[in-house]
Amino acid sequence: MELMPNRTETDAVGIGDALRERLQEARAEMASRTLARSQSSGAPVHVDVHAPGLEQLVGDGLEQLRQLSGTGASGVHAPGGALPLRCFVERERRDLQLRIGRRVCALGQAVAALRSAQSCLQGTRPLCTALELGRVPVTWWRGARRPPPFALWLQRVADTVRLLDGYVRAPAACYNLSAFHRPRLLMLALRQARARDDQRALDTYRVRAQVLSSFLPPNCPPDEGVYIRGLVLHGALWDSRLGVLQDTMSSKSCSLPVVWLRAEEAEIADTPSPYPQYQCPVYLGAASGVGDLTDSNILMHISLASKLDPLVCAQRRVHIASTL
């Protein structure tokens, strides 16, 4: 990459800004680990209590988390064919409540260390180290490749609580995959609902994704399946008139219209298209907009008609990221 004379040539072989950033971060992480190993003595990590606004930032965030942990939706979906979906969103809301409780406990210990100038305990070292930088550990944000800013993470938690509370109270017109801790189970819930209605085996069905032609969000849920919003396309442009991927030299992302997910019989063939189909991977978006694009983080694939050769799309790492 470094020997290529200009960015146009690196883009042509699939090395874009995202990959450049990832390589730079990998080098920085390797250097940091080498330095940490050379200085590690097993001693507790000390948090800089004199960092500007650090104690205030964490203290205010802790108070907001405590308020969020005391909230919860009391309503439920109407019974019927959507029962698996109802169970899924209610389980997601309960799990979120438990995770917030654990975060409150961990941050409480960090705040106590800040106020008393004590050392962080062994189990809270990653948190204390991240807080010194005004961030939270990378494990606190699924799909992130580096520790996200504390304020941004806190806003994400608040947004997730708001969305899940709404999903529990009533079926939503559109769902957001980033609101779920285990979004792959949404696809399972759709298959379970269809199998339950038809009284057939679960493996009879697959989840089909269809990108709608309009960017205007629907006002009500579909008769079958769910609508998904908040999807952003990276590495290509979406032609909403033709419903196909097209080439772009820009590194900017492109918003996708709402996607309709529904369960259908696995044996049903896809609608014929004059364009080749690219199986576009879907990931959870990160704070920086560029998440961890490893195969284990793929939530699902959406079959998209493409003016580009699917091999070129794969080489350029064309993908979809879900964002709140």
- The 10s digit of each residue's pLDDT in 240-257 is 889 999 998 888 889 999
- For 132, 212, 278, the CA distances from 306, given in Å and listed in that order, are 46, 15, 6
Q: Which fold has domain 173-322?
A: Hypothetical upf0131 protein ytfp (3.10.490)
Q: Give the domain ranges of the chain.
A: 54-168, 173-322
* Contact between 267 and 205 (Cβ < 8 Å): no
**Token output for 208:** 């089909």
Distance CA(18)–CA(234), nearest Å, equals 10
pLDDT on residue 69? 78
Q: Residue 134: which of 120, 150, 145, 146 has the closest Cα?
A: 150
pLDDT on residue 25? 62
Q: What percent of the chain has pLDDT over 70?
A: 75
More confident residue, 31 or 143: 143
Specify the pairing of strand 226-229 against strand 175-176: parallel
Per DSSP, the chain holds a count of helices (H) and strands (E) of: 8, 11
User: What does the pLDDT average to over 171-175?
Assistant: 93
* Contact between 190 and 220 (Cβ < 8 Å): no
Question: Per-residue pLDDT for 29 more than 70?
Answer: no
Question: Per-residue pLDDT for 179 more than 90?
Answer: yes
Question: Per-residue pLDDT for 37 more than 60?
Answer: no
Contacts of 218 (CB under 8 A, 6+ apart): 173, 174, 212, 227, 258
Q: Residue 230: which of 211, 251, 261, 258 has the closest Cα?
A: 258
The per-residue pLDDT of the chain, averaged, comes to 81
User: What does the pLDDT average to over 142-158?
Assistant: 87
| Residue 132 confidence class, pLDDT cut points 50, 70, 90 | confident
User: What does the pLDDT average to over 151-176?
Assistant: 93
pLDDT on residue 318? 94
Instruction: Point out the least confidently predicted range of 78-82, 131-135, 186-190, 210-214.
Output: 78-82
Instruction: Point out the least confidently predicted range of 34-38, 106-110, 260-264.
Output: 34-38
pLDDT on residue 49? 42
Distance CA(21)–CA(290), nearest Å, equals 9
Distance CA(202)–CA(306), nearest Å, equals 31
Task: Let me know the angle formed at the C-alpha of 271 by 266 and 276, rounded to the nearest 5 degrees.
Answer: 105
Distance CA(103)–CA(108), nearest Å, equals 8
pTM of the model: 0.77
Question: Per-residue pLDDT for 168 more than 60?
Answer: yes
| Residue 232 confidence class, pLDDT cut points 50, 70, 90 | very high
Q: What percent of the chain has pLDDT over 90?
A: 46
User: What does the pLDDT average to over 280-293?
Assistant: 77
Instruction: Point out the least confidently predicted range of 17-21, 158-162, 252-256, 280-284.
Output: 17-21
**Token output for 186:** 């949404």
More confident residue, 302 or 270: 302
DSSP 3-state assignment of 283?
strand
**Token output for 65:** 């988390």
